[in-house]
Amino acid sequence: MYILDLAIDLKEKYKQKIETPYLKGKILAMIFEKPSTRTRVSFEAGMLQLGGSALFLTSNDLQLGRGETIGDTANTLSQYVDAIMIRTFEHEKVVELANHASIPVINGLTKDFHPCQALADLLTIYEEKGTFEGSKLVYIGDGNNVAHSLLIGAAKVGLNCTIACPPNFEPMPEIISYAQEIAEQTHAKIEICHDPIHAVKDADFIYTDVWASMGQEQEKQIRTESFSSYQVNTDLVKNAKGDYQFMHCLPAKRGEEVTSEIIDGPNSIVFQQAGNRLHVQKALLKTILE
Ligand code: CP
Ligand code: NVA
């Protein structure tokens, strides 16, 4: 909540063109082992707007791509920069990097989590409703990194969250139990089911993500078959609240997980979400670096 409130303040300053040089002279190293539009540009622009700078590094440009260890990379980068943001495959890599680095490490997406996205999503919901209490977020589709981080984020802020996914594509059981454990304190209702129609009943927010994430390209066909009844389309959203809002982390595949009518329609807030990546990450950077 501290980061979300700070993000609202920074967003207001950004709109009013008030300068915010809180991180003057600070440098963020950004390591990407997967493509990115939003994460890369919002972190880089965010650091510049805070008076600092950012380095865009792919593992192929680093000795990491030639087998230098994560530990040695972490120790070396810690000599030069103030924080590291990394987007990679295995979550364990981020943990290893953080364990070896003497500076903060930010997860810019792994196979298992996408916490910066969840922060931006929560900021978007908070802006829309002014509170998390009493709202229902429904995520339809793959129990993937985005679903995992939403579950944990929703549980932390007390937002009710239902996930509807095909059998065998549920979120990881240990993440469900972790979210449920947190939800006991905040009274958020966490539900996992297989029926999208039941799930979207009374939904305030309907969220989906691609059926095949980065690195799962070879599973595309089997996934398209398994997820075919989980598309967010006009028929499905009829079961939600009349003023429901549609969310997607982007990039999206129109005609697969969502139809163009929905994502490009009047209830879609996907670019507000994308925009909020900038503000919430600036709040995060200020919090950990200042
Ligand atoms: N939502 C998101 O993380 O987008 P990018 O892959 O473009 O960074
Ligand atoms: N689940 C998607 C999110 C992309 C921002 C992926 O991991 O590719």
Binding site per annotation, positions for L-ornithine: 145, 209, 213-214
Is the shortest distance between the CB of 210 and ligand 2 below 6 Å? yes
Which residue has a Cα nearest atom 2 of ligand 1? 38
Q: What is the mean pLDDT of the chain?
A: 98
The number of the ligand 1 atom at minimal distance from the alpha carbon of 249 is 1
Mean pLDDT of 169-173: 98
pLDDT at position 186 is 98
Is residue 271 very low, low, confident or very high in pLDDT (cuts 50, 70, 90)?
very high
Q: Is the pLDDT of residue 59 over 90?
A: no
The answer to whether the CB of 170 is under 6 A from ligand 2 is no
Ligand 1 atom closest to the CA of 108, numbered from 1: 3
Q: What is the pLDDT of residue 130?
A: 97
Average pLDDT over residues 98-102: 98
Alpha carbons 49 and 24: distance in angstroms, whole number: 10
**Known binding-site residue numbers:** 36-39, 63, 87, 114-117, 145, 209, 213-214, 249-250, 277
pTM of the model: 0.98
User: Is 38 a pocket residue for ligand 1 (Cβ < 6 Å)?
Assistant: yes
d(CA 61, CA 66): 9
Task: Locate the ligand 2 atom nearest the alpha carbon of residue 216 and give its number.
Answer: 8
pLDDT tens for 203-220 read 999 999 999 999 999 999
Q: Which of 139, 165, 209 has most ligand 2 atoms within 8 Å of its beta carbon, as the pocket-test mutant?
A: 209
With a cut of 90, say whether residue 60 has pLDDT above it: no
pLDDT over 90 (residue 141): yes
In the chain the beta strands, taken as DSSP E runs, fall at 27-32, 53-58, 83-87, 105-107, 136-140, 160-164, 190-193, 205-208, 245-248
The protein residue with its alpha carbon nearest to ligand 1, atom 7, reads: 37
249 CB under 6 A from ligand 1?
yes
b/e burial code for range 131-168 (CB count within 10 A of at least 16 → b): ebeebbbbbbbbbbbbbbbbbbbbbbbbbbbbbbbbee
Catalytic residue positions, numbered: 87, 114, 117, 209, 249, 277
Distance of CA 213 from the midpoint of ligand 2 (Å):
5
pLDDT digits 0-9 by tens, 215-261? 999 999 999 999 999 999 999 999 999 999 999 999 999 999 999 99
Least confident of 28-32, 57-61, 203-207, 253-257: 57-61
